[in-house]
Structures are given as C-alpha cells and as structure tokens.
Amino acid sequence: MPPLWISQHAEVEEHLEIGFRDLIELRFVKAFLDAGVGMLAIRNCLDYARECANDDRPFSTRRFQTDGRTIFLESIDRAKEARVLDLKKRQYVFKQVIEKTFKDLDIEDNAVARWRPFNGKQSIVIDPDRAFGQPIAAQYGVPTVVLADAVEAEGSIDDVSRLYDVPASVVRDALHFEESLKIAA
C-alpha cells in the first residue's frame, strides 16, 4: 500500500521527518483507529476529503472540522464499503472523534495553526512559527523543556517562576507536560 500522504519534508532522505500538518493528520488517523475505524475507511475518507477540501492534508483544515462527519460517511458510501453495525453509532463515533480532536487545535486561514497538547490548556502550545515548533509556554515563549529542566536544577517551581518571569502555574504545567512526555516514551 502507498503511504497515506507524502511528508511535508519528503526531500530529507537520511531519516523520516514530518511537518506540523503531518503531525496533525497523524493525530486524526490515530484517533479514528482508536475508535475502531478501519484503515480502508480512513484511506477512502482521506482521498475523498482531499477532493472536498482541495488540500493534500484535509484532516487539518477548517473544512474537515465542519464537514468531517459528512465527508466520512459519503466517502464510505462512495467506496461501497460495508456498513459497520449501524449508521447512528458510526455518526456518533465520527462526531465524537472530530470534536475531541479539534478541541485542542487553533485554526487560522482555513488550516490548523497551533496545537495545545497539554489537555487543551492555553498555557502550553506547539506553534510551527515559534521556537521551531517545540512546545513552549504560550504567552512567554519559553520552551517547556527549559522550564522543566530549570525546576530540576533549581529544585523549586517558585524560583524558576522568578528567574524566567513566568507564572508558577505555567511553570507547573510545563513540568507536568514534560513529565507526561517522559512517561509516554
């Protein structure tokens, strides 16, 4: 099977490198797989969504945010794929996945611009236009890894808060976010 799409950074040959919108597309694929949607259905939807959204990465567009459920159902009908259980359950799964996945994304100019990866909290953001796309304290621009490492070195959230002029609550979020990344790895 061919890949679902070509990476934004396909010209890098030494290793796999993905762009921000590739990452967002992967989040949708994973969310649908976790909800029990088969890869064939995802592939069919992706192809049809490309046509509807006129974009190579349609899952990360405003059009998919508003029309995703319809696009999925129409693409499955179009592919004449067998229905899974019943239509009501399928519509609920699609709606739930789309709403949940877009909940922590910010859209600008019809595409995803930022991701708030720490449970959707406003304090931490991944923005491809800031800090080379690494997770940062949203209002302060300090990478979360820097804040977490500083807490480890200083031994105090309050001391790091004063050193970086970032509220203690944001330092705490950065610390918990970085800890969650270590647990996931």
pLDDT at 116: 95
| Domain encompassing residue 70 | 20-107
- At residue 89, the pLDDT reads 54
Q: Is residue 97 part of a domain?
A: yes
Measured CA to CA, the distance from residue 42 to residue 4 in angstroms comes to 9
Do 100 and 174 lie in a common domain? no
CB 141 within 8 A of CB 147: no
Q: Decide if 115 is inside a domain.
A: no
Q: Domain boundary at 78, 107, 136, which? A: 107
Same domain, 177 and 136: yes
pLDDT at 66: 76
Q: Is residue 12 part of a domain?
A: no
State the Cα angle at 43 between 81 and 59, rounded to 5°.
Answer: 120
| 8 contacts 22 by C-beta, under 8 angstroms | yes
pLDDT at 79: 59
The reply to whether 36 and 100 lie within a common domain is: yes
For residues 71 and 63, what is the distance between their CA atoms, to the nearest angstrom?
A: 10
- The span from the CA of 16 to the CA of 33, in Å, is 22
Listed residues 107, 140, 172: the one ending a domain: 107
In whole angstroms, what is the distance from residue 171 CA to residue 185 CA? Answer: 21
Within a domain: 6:
no
C-alpha span between 2 and 178 (Å, rounded):
34
Compute mean pLDDT per 10 residues along the chain, 185 residues long, and list them. 83 81 91 84 85 87 78 66 47 71 88 92 95 95 97 96 97 96 84
pLDDT of residue 91: 60
Which domain-ending residue is among 73, 107, 141? 107
Same domain flag for 94 and 140: no
Q: What are phi and psi of 124, to 5 degrees?
A: -120, 135
Task: Answer whether residue 35 is part of any domain.
Answer: yes
Domain-embedded: residue 98: yes
Is residue 68, in this structure, part of any structural domain at all? Answer: yes
What is the model's pTM? Answer: 0.77
